[in-house]
Amino acid sequence: MGIEDVCLSIKRGDSWSKTMYFENEDGARIDITGWTIFLTVKAKASDLDTSAVISKTLTTFSDPTNGEAEISLTPTDTNQAIASYVYDIQVKTNVGEIYTIVEGILTITKDITQRTS
């Protein structure tokens, strides 16, 4: 699996989700049953995982036999200081292999509307 470099921009306090599809080198979907997906967002790459501003661990997926997983962030997750952070998404396969599949910069931007009712 190669590493994809993706920059994200999310409004502070907004919900966010991304559906990911896992495929083999021929483009066929692969079964991700038993996998774990980690999303980690930090101020600096050298920060400990315990200091992450956002940390998600997924073990249940929208359609694992067809290689489909959805990563979701809540308004609480994205209610962070307005700044740019480093992030990555790693997978741990059902046989214990670990791959970083996406990394980049996640920017939390100022929200205009702050009321929720």
Answer whether residue 3 shows pLDDT above 90.
no
How far is residue 11's CA from residue 62's CA, in Å, rounded to a whole number? 25
**Residue 116: its pLDDT value, please?**
77
Kindly state the tokens that stand for 51: 């200091």
Q: Which CATH number fits domain 4-109: 1.10.340.30, 2.120.10.70, 2.60.40.10, 1.10.3720.10?
A: 2.60.40.10
Closest CA to 106 of 54, 47, 41, 15: 41
pTM over 0.85: yes
Domain ranges of the chain: 4-109
- What is the number of alpha carbons within 13 Å of residue 112 lying toward its C-beta? 0
- What is the number of alpha carbons within 13 Å of residue 96 lying toward its C-beta? 0
Answer whether residue 19 shows pLDDT above 80.
yes
Res. 1 pLDDT band, cuts 50 70 90? low
Answer whether residue 93 shows pLDDT above 80.
yes
CA angle 95, 54, 82 (to 5 degrees): 150
**Residue 114: its pLDDT value, please?**
78
Res. 115 pLDDT band, cuts 50 70 90? confident
* % of the chain residues with pLDDT over 90: 87
